[in-house]
Structure 1
Amino acid sequence: MSRIGQAPITVPAGVDVNIVGTHITVKGPKGSLDREIPGGITIDVDGDTLTCVRPNDENKSRALHGLVRSLVNNMVLGVTEGFKKELQIVGVGYRAEAQGKDIRLSLGFSHTIDVKAPEGISFELPAQTQVIVSGIDKEVVGQVAANIRSLRKPEPYKGKGVRYLGERVVRKAGKAGKK
C-alpha cells in the first residue's frame, strides 16, 4: 500500500471541499482551486478529514494513489497558507525591479526581460537581487519560478545567474595558467 496515499488529509476550519464525481473544488481564505481526479481514485469525506481510496491494486491505480493524495493536500495547503519560491540573482549588474504586478530583469543581456505575472501569482522584491514568487497553486508557483530561473541559469565558472535560494551550484576550475 502507498504510505502517502493512505495518510488522511485534515481540512482546517474555513476551508470548504466540494466533490462532484471526479471533480474536486477547494475554497479557502486565500482563494479557490479545482481539479479533475484521475484514474478512478475516489475521495471519501468524513467530517474534517479526506481519505483517498483506490479501486484496485493495478499498477496504474497504485501509482496514482499517492499522487492524488498529494495533489489534494497541496490544494488544501494552498488555499490556507499559500506557497512561495525564493529566487536569488547573482552577478555584477544583475537585478530585478518591479513594474506594477510584473518584474523587469537585467541579466547581462543587451536588453531587459519583462516577466508577466500569471493570474494568481504575485512577485515580491525584498532586494534588487531577490525575487519571491507566491501564489495558491503549487504547480504554477514552481513553474513560474523555473521559467524565471531558465532565463539565465547559474553558470559553473563564476556562479552568475538566477538560482533558487539555498541552491548549491557546483563550480568548475577555470583554465590553468601558463607555466
Structure 2
Amino acid sequence: MSRIGKKPIDIPKGVEVKVGEGNFVTVKGPKGELSYKFNPELKINVEENQVKVERPNDSSFMRAIHGTTRALIANMIKGVTEGFTVELEIVGIGYRANMKGKAIELQLGYSHPIHFEPPEGVQIAVEGNIIKVSGIDKQKVGQVAAKIRDFRKPDPYKGKGIRYKGEVIKLKAGKSVGK
C-alpha cells in the first residue's frame, strides 16, 4: 500500500467533510468551502473525525492515485482551516509592484507596466518588494504565484527578477576577458 495513502486524515473541529455521489468531496471550514471530484473507483470514508482513502486493487494507476487523493483531501482540509500563502520577492533596480484595487501592477523593466487580476478565491498583497499570494486552494495559490514569477524570471547572471522568497539563484559567471 501507499505509505501516504493509507494514513488517515484527522478532521479538526469546525471542519465538515462530506463525500457525495461519485466521490464528490466537499470540505467546509472557517475560511470557506472547497469541492473536488475524485476517481469514483476509490473508496473515501468519513468516520470518527477521520477520512480514510482505500483502493480496490493494486494496479499501478490505483497505487499512483491513492496517495495523490489522500494528499489532495489533506490539502483541502488545511486550506479551509489555515489557508495557504506563497511569498514572492522582487529583486532589481526599478522593479516594483503596486496594488490597483484587487489587481496588481508590476513594473519589471519592460516598456509597459503589467496588470494582473487574480482569479476568484486568491488574494494578493504587496509589502515593499514582497508579494504575498494567499487563498484556501493550494493549487490556485501556487498557479497564481507561478504566473506572477513568469512575468520576469530571475536572471541567471545578475539575479534580477521575481523569485520565491528563500529561493536561491545560482549565478553564472559573466564573460571572461581574453588575452
Q: If the length of structure 2 is used for normalisation, what is the TM-score?
A: 0.97
Paired residues, what number? 178
Corresponding residue number in structure 1 for 2:108: 107
Q: What do you get for the CA RMSD once the two structures are aligned?
A: 0.9
Corresponding residue number in structure 2 for 1:29: 30
**1:23, 1:157 → 2: CA distance?**
48
Please give the secondary structure, in 2, of the residue aligned with 1:104. Answer: strand
Which letter does structure 1 place at the counterpart of 2:33? S
Corresponding residue number in structure 1 for 2:63: 62
For the 8 Å contact 2:88–2:131, the answer to whether it is kept is yes
Which letter does structure 2 place at the counterpart of 1:95? R
- 1:6 corresponds to 2:2: no
**1:114, 1:124 → 2: CA distance?**
14
List per-residue Cα deviations over 1:109-144 (Å, max 9, x = no partner). 0000001011000011121x1100000000000000
Corresponding residue number in structure 1 for 2:133: 133
Shift of 1:153: 0.5
Corresponding residue number in structure 1 for 2:19: 19
Which letter does structure 1 place at the counterpart of 2:177? G
Which letter does structure 2 place at the counterpart of 1:18? K
For the 8 Å contact 1:53–1:65, the answer to whether it is kept is yes
Name segments (4+ residues, structure 1) moved above 3 Å: none
Corresponding residue number in structure 2 for 1:81: 82
Shift of 1:76: 0.3
Identity of aligned residues (%): 52
Unaligned stretches of 5+ residues in structure 2:
none
Corresponding residue number in structure 2 for 1:163: 163
Which letter does structure 1 place at the counterpart of 2:130? Q
Please give the secondary structure, in 2, of the residue aligned with 1:5. Answer: coil
Please give the secondary structure, in 2, of the residue aligned with 1:163. Answer: strand
**2:9, 2:53 → 1: CA distance?**
9
Shift of 1:177: 2.4
